[in-house]
Amino acid sequence: MENFIEQRIGEAFTPEGILAHLGTSTLGRRIEVHPQVGSTNDLAREAGRRGEPEGLVILAEEQVKGRGRLGRVWTAPQGCCILCSVLLRPRFSPEHAFYITIAASLAIYRACVALFDQEASHNHELNKPQASSLKTPTIKWPNDVLVDGRKVSGVLSEAEFSGHDWAFAVVGFGINVNLRTEQFGELQSVATSLSAELGRPVDRAKLIAHVLQELESLYLLLQGGQFGPVHSQWARALETTGKQVTVREAAGIVEGKTLRVDPDGALVIRTRQGEEKRVLAGDVLPGNGQ
Ligand code: BT5
Residues 247-258: pLDDT tens digits? 999 888 999 999
Query: What's the 4 CA to ligand 1 centre distance in angstroms?
Result: 32
Mean pLDDT, residues 226-254 taken together: 92
Judge whether residue 189 has pLDDT over 90: yes
Is 62 a residue whose pLDDT tops 90?
yes
pLDDT bracket for residue 127 (50, 70, 90): low
Please answer whether residues 31 and 59 qualify as being in contact, where contact means their C-beta atoms are separated by less than 8 angstroms: yes
Rounded CA gap, 38 and 182, in Å?
24
Say yes or no to pLDDT of 122 above 90.
no
Q: Which of 95, 104, 107 is nearest to 164 (CA)?
A: 95
Q: How far is the CA of 220 from the centre of ligand 1 (A)?
A: 26
Question: Which residue has its alpha carbon closest to ligand 1 atom 30?
Answer: 74
In this model, does residue 4 exceed pLDDT 50? no
* Per-residue pLDDT at 70: 87
Distance between Cα 52 and ligand 1 center (Å): 26
User: pLDDT of 152-173, one tens digit each?
Assistant: 999 999 999 999 999 999 999 9
C-alpha pair distances (Å), 12 with each of 8, 59, 65, 78, 113: 9, 11, 20, 10, 24
The residue whose CA has the least distance to atom 23 of ligand 1 is 74
C-alpha 284 to ligand 1 mean position (Å): 15
CA of 143 to the centre of ligand 1 (A): 10
Please check whether residue 260 is in contact with residue 268, taking contact to mean a CB–CB distance below 8 angstroms.
yes
E strand map for the chain? 31-34, 57-60, 82-88, 137-140, 144-147, 150-162, 165-175, 244-249, 252-261, 267-271, 276-279, 282-284
**Nearest protein CA to atom 3 of ligand 1, as residue:** 154
Please report the atom of ligand 1 found closest to the CA of residue 39: 14
Q: DSSP 3-state assignment of 251?
A: coil
What is the C-alpha end-to-end distance of the chain, expressed in Å? 45
- Shortest-distance Cα residue to atom 28 of ligand 1: 74
Residue 65 has pLDDT above 60, yes or no: yes
pLDDT band at 179 (very low <50, low <70, confident <90, very high): very high
- Write down the mean pLDDT value for the chain: 91
Q: For residue 201, what are the CA distances in angstroms to 50, 156, 193, 269?
A: 37, 25, 10, 39
Shortest-distance atom of ligand 1 to CA 176: 34
In this structure, the residue with its CA closest to atom 27 of ligand 1 is 187
Residues 44-66: what's their mean pLDDT? 98
- Ligand 1 atom 9, closest CA: 174
Q: For residue 161, what pLDDT is reported?
A: 95
Pocket of ligand 1 (CB under 6 A): 39-41, 63, 66-70, 72-76, 83-85, 143-144, 151, 154-156, 172-174, 176, 187, 191
Query: 287: pLDDT confidence band, cut at 50, 70 and 90?
Result: low
153-170 b/e (C-beta count within 10 Å ≥ 16 → b): bbbbbbbeeeeeebebbb
Q: How confident is the model at residue 6 (pLDDT cuts 50, 70, 90)?
A: very low
pLDDT at 71 over 70: yes
CA distances from 173 to 1, 78, 127, 248 (A): 32, 15, 36, 22
Mutate to test the pocket of ligand 1, among 36, 74, 81, 147 (most ligand atoms within 8 A of CB): 74
What pLDDT score was predicted for residue 290?
42
Q: What are phi and psi of 114, to 5 degrees?
A: -60, -40
Tell me the longest C-alpha to C-alpha distance in the chain: 62
- Label residue 1 by pLDDT band (50, 70, 90): very low
Residue 264, burial from CB neighbour count under 10 angstroms (0-12, 13-18, 19+): middle
Atom of ligand 1 nearest to the CA of 66: 14
